[in-house]
Amino acid sequence: MDRRVTLAALGFVILLPDAAVAGGNRIKQLRPSWKGSTGLFKLATPDTLRTGEFSLGLHHARFHRRSGQARITHFPVSFTLGLRDYLEGFLSWEARSWLRTTQMGALDESGLSGNRLTLSNHSTHPDFSSGAVSGDLWAGLKLNLWSPSHGHPVGLALQPKVRVSSAAGFSSGFPEPTPEGPGLGLEVLLSRQISTSLRLTANGGFLYSGDGTESISGHQFDYGLGLDFPLGREATLVAELVGTRFGGSGFETPLELHLGMTLLSRRWFQLSAGYSLNLNRAGPGQLGVPDAGRHGWTAQLVIQRKINRPPFVRCRPVRQTVESGESAKIKVLAMDPDDEVLSIAWIASGGAISLQGDSARFDSTGLEAGVYTVSAELSDSESTSRCVVEIRVEKELRSGN
């Protein structure tokens, strides 16, 4: 009779500790920002899409300018494509931009001298100035230089881009400079994993427009800080503080707060929504004209193609031969190239398995002499990898025999 006894398989599933997963246990997000590059709401992250991955974003964003006197609604459409694992290209077009101002927004501020009021030339309606145009077209590349998944302490990317403005219809009354012609810019993108899940993102960039005049200059400096925090597999919390400084005089320097959440994240689509606040002071309306407000909101639908690569797992027993009743420690190395949340299941052909941090312990108590297998199955919910080790159990040597 074969002395090797095969017991019922013993298995269980756990979430891997942080030390067992390279790059943390984040869920990969492909969401494009308003400008097209992979990121949060307005900020871009150093992450890049993998070769062949893409995301199509349909956005709605409402915000305010000129201390709450102007309400602007944008409908950006963006497309981002992974050209290489470290390089992506993006396009973003503000398919529709709607401007609505209060009476004070329609007045030329340079005409407010003494008790005289002078309407600006573009305003034919003294109560409101409003209209809709197609907005700016953005195109660019993002080159990922450093990535935490490759052992760097921070993520770093450079993002050259070009803007073609088509909103010249608001050049005399729009609360931001909108010169005609192209603008060239470069952004530096940084990220740092603060804890297991919390990530800090920082952006800084300059946009140069050679068609800007002294009064309406398109030169601008954009900056911002962002935090994102996954809430399980279904949602990610996002917070951003974003500002812009314009080169021309007489333009407000916007400072905005965005708070939102990715509500659903599936293989082929994502939904996001958020609240925005203009932090520039918006006091009581001048001359009795009420403010347009400071509160806004954003919504986003993303259609995406995400390429999943299987995780990697390797097992190594500290001891391959034990006496019956002894135990053997099995070390495991688990990694996932997509930084997905991983689960692991241990199965043994006999004995018992217990967990010790990022390793397991095989207990041979009560086993007959023979060879037993212990396997670990690592899963990212789409793909599974497996490693197997063999441990020989020998008959216990009794002293005095």
**Is the confidence at residue 157, as pLDDT, over 70?**
yes
Q: Which two tokens stand for residue 304?
A: 């995406």
Q: In the prediction, which pLDDT does 228 show?
A: 94
What does DSSP say about strands 384-394 and 321-323: parallel, antiparallel, or unpaired?
parallel
Please state, in angstroms and rounded to a whole number, the distance separating the CA atoms of residues 83 and 140.
Answer: 12
Q: What is the rounded average pLDDT of the residues 371-397?
A: 88
**Is the confidence at residue 358, as pLDDT, over 90?**
no
Q: In the prediction, which pLDDT does 28 show?
A: 64
Q: Which of 212, 195, 192, 194 is nearest to 203 (CA)?
A: 192
Q: Topology of domain 54-305, per CATH?
A: Porin (2.40.160)
Compute the mean pLDDT over every residue in the chain, rounded to the nearest whole number.
78
Q: What is the rounded average pLDDT of the residues 159-177?
A: 67
Predicted structure pTM score: 0.72
Residue 117's CB is within 10 A of a number of other CB atoms, namely 14
pLDDT above 70 covers a percentage of the chain that reads 73
Q: In the prediction, which pLDDT does 109 show?
A: 38
Q: What is the rounded average pLDDT of the residues 302-327?
A: 89
Q: Where are the domains of the chain?
A: 13-21+311-394, 54-305
pLDDT in tens, 112-126: 333 333 333 333 333
Q: Which residues of 59-70 are buried (b: 16+ CB within 10 A; e: fewer)?
A: bebbbbbbbbbb
Q: In the prediction, which pLDDT does 176 show?
A: 67
Q: Which of 32-36, 58-62, 79-83, 134-138 has the lowest mean pLDDT?
A: 134-138
Please state, in angstroms and rounded to a whole number, the distance separating the CA atoms of residues 329 and 319.
Answer: 7
Do residues 57 and 37 make contact, with C-beta atoms less than 8 angstroms apart? no
**Is the confidence at residue 212, as pLDDT, over 60?**
no
Q: Topology of domain 13-21+311-394, per CATH?
A: Immunoglobulin-like (2.60.40)
- Read off the pLDDT band of 5 (50, 70, 90): very low
pLDDT in tens, 15-44: 343 333 333 344 567 889 988 999 999 999
Q: In the prediction, which pLDDT does 65 show?
A: 80
> CB-side exposure of 81: number of CA atoms within 13 Å?
7
Q: In the prediction, which pLDDT does 148 show?
A: 83
The more confidently predicted of residues 147 and 242 is 242
Residues 6+ apart with CB under 8 A from 211: 179, 180, 181, 182, 218
Mapping DSSP to helix (H, G, I), strand (E, B) and coil, where does residue 109 land?
helix
Q: In the prediction, which pLDDT does 114 show?
A: 35
**Is the confidence at residue 95, as pLDDT, over 60?**
yes
Q: In the prediction, which pLDDT does 11 show?
A: 37
Residues 6+ apart with CB under 8 A from 17: 357, 358
Q: Bridge partners of 296?
A: 276
Classify the C-alpha dihedral 191-194-198-200 as positive or negative.
negative
Q: In the prediction, which pLDDT does 136 show?
A: 83
Q: Which residues of 292-321 are buried (b: 16+ CB within 10 A; e: fewer)?
A: bbbebebebebebbbbbeebebebebeeee
